[in-house]
Copies of this chain bind each other. A is one copy, B any other.
């Protein structure tokens, strides 16, 4: 058992609030660099899933890769903290076999057997029941099959897509409002706000809600079933470790953690230079940059990024929710899940997610707009207001205040898919960009990160080999 701790995340327990959490995602010692290499084939910036997959695919093809990461750990916005023998997912959590790139990776490492059902409902799935009861009446997403017939191909319905991408989630609600009951409207508002990362419906692109719907098989049953159904018993970090270890085993991977990249130059024709905060400078023929959408502007690129890419970065992803894990006494809430109306504030979504070895219940929740590390009492109250119970621990990562994330899962504003997806995916000289934030399919999910890492690695390999 490792006792290594990351500086990420917070633990609140009876002894108070403490920054940093134990995690096997920490890479220690933080550096292993082959100093004989003068010019790297590829520098991969960021050790989230996109970066890990790109590094693995490129080292397997025999490229000399340097992986540079600001944090002390792998996994990016997906990582596991093991506390008292229980795996808490701090970011990306739920997985499904309809997420093809992710499932392929699980299959590759023999981890499909680790898939477990996260929630335990007596009547199979409460959330599903909520949807199913009114499914035929919910007009909101019924056009998804026509507008997004191929959910992994955002461009497949060019003009049709363009039209609907201009709608906000709220515009669409107003369009179908007269066909819905008051309860259906309230439920929809809650579901949309949760899907969109706890921001107002006016800000969320209707297209993004439609896209989730399409990816999940064009119904609410699928939406609940595919996005909050299963997770890995062993924790997501086991997958990240598997990818990282396979890359290491090739002998072609060097890495440097705890050193943020501050500048990327490609001022001469021979390649690029990557400048780190520590003043280390690396030369590389190609760069795979996996910095998230909301963080990319913090790096200085010379020459500067294209105007269209800069516009997309300025627009950014809007989801802000924090992931908060509660450990509560007893098993009384093991079958509980809840979704809150936007007017409620506090907890936007919560579900019992597991039973700890000591028999307490783990509840996973999304919180807004509270800053949990500054106001832990409000967080406690938010849960206690729903049900008075003993809170043993709160384990959380505030993705909104994390300087290397600046937000939760990707959510676009209206018109952004059409205007920004292309520019975000575009290369910039020797630089290639891979991140779940601009994935074609499961954007904002682990699957999207793997999709992007794989695609970009293939492109880079084609040029280098």
Contact = CB atoms under 8 A, between A and B. Distances in A.
Nearest to A102: B100
B100 A152 contact: no
Contacts of A141: none
A455 B110 CA distance: 8
A107 B60 contact: no
Given A107-B451, A107-B455, A217-B217, A97 B60 contact: no
Interface in A84-108: 97-104, 107-108
Nearest to A217: B217
Contact of A103 (B60, B100, B107, B112): B100
Which residue among A150, A440, A465 has the maximum number of chain B CB atoms within 10 Å of its CB? A150
A454 B124 contact: no
Nearest to A116: B150
Which residue among A61, A104, A441 has the maximum number of chain B CB atoms within 10 Å of its CB? A104
Contacts of A150: 97, 112, 115, 230
Interface in A28-45: none
Interface string A441-459: 1000000000100110010
A97 B451 contact: no
Nearest to A451: B107
A382 to B, nearest CB: 32
A354 interface: no
A124 B152 contact: no
A385 interface: no
Contacts of A101: 100, 103-104, 107
Which residue among A61, A98, A145 has the maximum number of chain B CB atoms within 10 Å of its CB? A98
Contacts of A110: 455
A454 B108 contact: yes
Interface in A120-135: 124
A152 B103 contact: yes
B441 A97 contact: yes
Q: In the complex, which range does the number of interface residues on chain A fall in?
A: 35 or more
B458 A108 contact: yes
A62 B441 CA distance: 31
The secondary structure that dominates the A interface is mixed
A153 B113 contact: yes
A451 B458 CA distance: 20
A440 B108 CA distance: 13
Given A104-B104, A217-B222, A152 B97 contact: yes
A435 to B, nearest CB: 16
A112 B439 CA distance: 13
Contact of A100 (B60, B97, B151): B97
A345 B109 CA distance: 45
Interface in A134-171: 145, 149-153
A153 B455 CA distance: 28
Contacts of A230: 150
A151 B96 CA distance: 11
Contacts of A151: 97
Nearest to A465: B249
Contacts of A62: 62
Contacts of A98: 97-98, 100, 217
A232 B288 CA distance: 30
Interface string A412-456: 000000000000000000000000000011000000000100110
13 contacts: A60-B60, A97-B150, A97-B151, A100-B101, A100-B102, A101-B103, A103-B152, A108-B454, A109-B458, A110-B455, A113-B153, A115-B150, A249-B465
Interface of A: 60-62, 97-104, 107-110, 112-113, 115, 117, 124, 145, 149-153, 217, 222, 230, 249, 440-441, 451, 454-455, 458, 465
**What 10 A-B pairs are tightest by C-beta distance, nearest first?**
A100-B103, A100-B100, A104-B104, A98-B98, A217-B217, A100-B104, A97-B152, A101-B104, A60-B60, A112-B152
Given A100-B103, A101-B103, 9 more contacts: A60-B60, A98-B98, A99-B100, A100-B100, A101-B104, A104-B104, A108-B458, A110-B455, A124-B145
